[in-house]
Chain A
Amino acid sequence: MTTRDLWEETYSAVTVNKVRTSLTMLGIVIGIASVIAMVAIGQGSQSSIQSSIQSLGANLLMVTPGAQRAFGSMVRAQPGSAETLTPDDADAIVSGVDNIAAIAREVSGRYQTVYKSNNTNASVVGTEASYATVRNVTMDEGDFITDADVTNSSRNAVIGQTVLASLFATTENASPTPDMAIGNTIRINGNNFKVVGVTATSTVANNDIYVPLSTAQHILVGSDKYLSEVDVEASSQSTMTQVQNDITNLLLTRHKISDSSSADFTVTNQSEIVSAASSVTSTFTTLLAAIASISLLVGGIGIMNMMLTTVTERTREIGLRKALGAKERDITLQFLAESVLMTFVGGIIGVILGWFIAIAISYFESISTSISIPYVLMAFGVSAAIGIIFGYYPARRAAKLNPIEALRYE
Chain B
Amino acid sequence: MPNIIECRNIKKVYRNGDIETVVLKGITFSVEEGEFVAIMGPSGSGKSTMMHILGALDTPTSGEYLLDGKNIAQMSQDELSEIRLDKIGFVFQAFNLLPRATVLRNVALPLIYAGVPKAERERIAEQCLTESAFPKEFWNHYSNQISGGMMQRVAIARSLVNNPAMILADEPTGNLDSVTGEIVLHTFQSLNAEHGKTIVLITHESYVAEHADRIIHILDGQILSDEKNHHKRIAGHETQPIK
**Interfacial residues, chain A to chain B (CB-CB below 8 A):** 1-2, 4-5, 9, 12, 16, 316-317, 319-330, 403-404, 407
Contacts and interface: CB of A to CB of B under 8 A. Distances in A.
Interface of B: 52, 55, 57-58, 77-78, 81-82, 84-86, 90, 92, 96, 98, 100-101, 109-110, 112-115, 117-118, 158, 162
A325 B82 contact: yes
B112 A403 contact: no
A4 B117 CA distance: 9
B98 A317 contact: yes
A317 B82 CA distance: 18
Nearest to B93: A407
Nearest to A6: B112
A324 B109 contact: yes
Contact of B113 (A4, A12, A316, A324): A324
Contact of A5 (B78, B92, B118): B118
B29 to A, nearest CB: 22
Given A1-B112, A12-B101, A404-B57, A326 B96 contact: no
B117 A324 contact: no
A321 B81 CA distance: 10
Nearest to A320: B96
Contacts of A16: 100
Nearest to B98: A317
A150 B107 CA distance: 97
A4 B116 CA distance: 11
Given A325-B81, A327-B82, A407-B92, 7 more contacts: A1-B115, A4-B118, A323-B55, A324-B85, A324-B158, A325-B110, A326-B85
Contacts, number: 59
A323 B57 contact: yes
A325 B84 contact: yes
A327 B96 CA distance: 18
A253 B113 CA distance: 85
Contacts of A326: 81, 85, 113
Contacts of B90: 323-324
Nearest to B100: A16
A328 B77 contact: yes
A407 B93 CA distance: 11
B78 A328 contact: yes
Contacts of B98: 317, 320
Contacts of A325: 81-82, 84-86, 110, 113-114, 162
A330 B52 contact: no
A328 B85 CA distance: 13
15 contacts: A1-B112, A1-B113, A5-B112, A5-B118, A12-B100, A12-B101, A317-B98, A320-B98, A323-B84, A324-B113, A325-B82, A325-B84, A327-B82, A328-B78, A407-B96
A327 B110 CA distance: 12
A404 B52 contact: yes
Contacts of B117: 2
B61 to A, nearest CB: 15
Contacts of B78: 327-329
